[in-house]
């Protein structure tokens, strides 16, 4: 029960963070789940939680969704998923935390003047390929997805709504993928009682609803600055965790 209390408590805290900044919460939550659960179980529970969290953000701000970017995103996501299924790819915990740590720094690896922008031609398709690959290998894609939005002219409401919908779609894919992994290579018994998978949904909605009231209190400038600082801090923490796992063998 101590583990379950930790899991449920982390859900409301991290969905609140995501609801305010649109970043960070899902990555922290995946780190917690990956720390205490087997990989496939962590991916499924995280996917259900984040599907509820991101879906509620998209629903609450649906009028601000930028529908034009979604067609290319879905195309890229489908291509990536087909390749991963072909190879029956399953990450280990070192790769999980390494990916969680690297993603926040992707923006710094891009040449100046070459920033990714989700509103430009073919960028939604590239975004779909890369973020789906990250979702399956690390459970999250938020920090990478942020790179495609940080240089756009979209408002914080458009960013919340559009990212929320694309992330909801991505987590549905992730849930289905790792359910298939468990069914086809069942070596991770049922670790959690069924009601935990149900309970995370209203808890995630509650965290998002509370955060929505805080979102109104910050400006677009503060929103963008806080986004960058939080993602970098998370990256450092999880890179340290990956290094510790590698040193431990």
pLDDT tens figures, 99-117: 988 877 776 666 665 667 8
Structural tokens at position 84: 């991963």
Percent over 70 (pLDDT), the chain: 84
- Buried b / exposed e over 14-37, threshold 16 CB at 10 Å, is bbbbbbbbbbbbbbbbbbbbbeeb
Distance between start and end Cα atoms, the chain:
29
183 — pLDDT class (breaks 50, 70, 90): low
What pLDDT does residue 129 have? 94
What pLDDT does residue 109 have? 67
Percent over 90 (pLDDT), the chain: 21
């Amino acid at each position: 029960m101590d583990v379950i209390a930790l899991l449920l408590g982390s859900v409301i805290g991290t969905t609140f963070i995501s609801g305010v900044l649109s970043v960070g919460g899902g990555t922290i939550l995946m780190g917690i789940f990956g720390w205490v659960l087997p990989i496939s179980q962590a991916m499924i529970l995280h996917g259900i939680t984040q599907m509820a969290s991101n879906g509620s953000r998209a629903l609450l701000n649906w009028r601000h969704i930028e529908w034009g970017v979604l067609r290319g995103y879905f195309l890229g996501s489908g291509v990536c998923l087909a390749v991963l299924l072909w190879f029956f790819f399953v990450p280990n915990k070192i790769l999980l935390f390494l990916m969680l740590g690297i993603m926040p720094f992707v923006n710094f690896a891009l040449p100046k003047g070459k920033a990714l922008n989700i509103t430009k031609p073919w960028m939604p398709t590239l975004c779909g390929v890369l973020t789906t690959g990250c979702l399956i290998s690390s459970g999250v894609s938020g920090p990478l997805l942020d790179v495609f939005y940080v240089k756009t002219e979209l408002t914080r409401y458009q960013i919340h709504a559009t990212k929320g919908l694309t992330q909801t779609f991505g987590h549905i894919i992730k849930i289905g993928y790792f359910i298939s992994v468990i069914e086809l290579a069942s070596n991770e018994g049922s670790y959690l009682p069924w009601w935990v998978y149900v309970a995370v949904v209203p808890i995630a909605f509650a965290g998002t609803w509370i955060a929505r009231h805080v979102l109104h209190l910050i400006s677009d400038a503060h929103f963008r600055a806080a986004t960058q600082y939080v993602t970098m801090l998370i990256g450092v923490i999880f890179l340290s965790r990956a290094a510790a796992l590698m040193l431990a063998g």
